Structure 1
Amino acid sequence: MTLSQPVIWLIIIVLGVGTFALRFSFLGLLGSRPLPPWALRLLRYTPVAVLPGLIAPRVFLPPEGATSPDPTLVATALVTLALGVWTKSAIWAMLSGALTLTVLTLILA
């Protein structure tokens, strides 16, 4: 199914307006008011919920035409998770993941 150019632009504009409305509802309308403690507590967990949702499909789903996930990505994710839990530092977890991915890619290439 091929979409015409005006339909694609309409979709882009509608998604842009929707994104703006969603962000404005929090930042524009509620930005100057203090949030209740329960809302602040829930908002602290947003990155913890979003990041695995973005990363997990890339790591655990096999690439196109493959029958199993890429062992390099799985090992990198496990090292990153382990260092993140051990050090309780996002920076050290990300650096260890980047280093692990680089080393395993160079070794296995």
Structure 2
Amino acid sequence: MNGTEMTFDRSTLWIVIVGLAIGSYALRFAFIGLVGNKAMPDWLMRHLRYTAVAIIPALVAPLVVWPAPTDGEPSLIHFAAAALTFAVAVFSKNVLLAMITGACSLWSLMYLFG
């Protein structure tokens, strides 16, 4: 072995798969099955509105700061596309337009300078 290979026996693999499946089901059931038909308090609903606003930047920021195509080195192309996307999102208040702008600007900048 060269240090990067990992081997698992079949029983360990299936125990992990079944354990993750049970955990995933239990987490979803807790919200959908147990709480799904009950009214949520207003304070909780107010906080849940901001879930996507918090999650999406957390998913995108590492891809901008440490992009995979450059092996984690900061890239001006990625920063420029992110800045343009952010500007379109702020001024237009349209998520779909911002996403399309981000994708097109990234592809365009990579084609021109990449």
TM-score by length of 2: 0.83
Distance in 2 between the 1:8 and 1:73 partners? Answer: 37
Structure 1 pair 108/43, CA: closer, same or farther in 2 (3 Å)? Answer: same
The reply on whether 1:83 has 2:88 as its aligned counterpart is: yes
Amino acid at match of 2:75: D
Question: Residue in 2 aligned with 1:12?
Answer: 17
Q: Where do 5+ consecutive residues of structure 1 fail to align? A: none
Distance in 2 between the 1:67 and 1:27 partners? Answer: 39
Structure 1 position 76, deviation (Å)? 1.3
Tell me the secondary structure at the aligned position of residue 8 of structure 2: coil
Q: Is the 8 A contact 1:63 1:70 kept in 2?
A: no
Structure 1 position 66, deviation (Å)? 4.7
The reply on whether 1:36 has 2:44 as its aligned counterpart is: no
Deviates more, 1:82-91 or 1:4-13: 4-13
Amino acid at match of 2:76: P
The reply on whether 1:25 has 2:30 as its aligned counterpart is: yes
| From 46, 51, 55, the counterpart of 1:50 | 55
Q: Is the 8 A contact 2:84 2:102 kept in 1?
A: yes
Question: Residue in 2 aligned with 1:100?
Answer: 105
TM-score by length of 1: 0.87
Deviation string for 1:37-88 (max 9, x for gaps)?
0110111111111111111111112548757312222211111111111111
Identity of aligned residues (%): 39
Query: CA-atom RMSD, angstroms?
Result: 1.9
Amino acid at match of 1:68: E
Tell me the secondary structure at the aligned position of residue 52 of structure 2: helix
Structure 1 position 14, deviation (Å)? 1.0
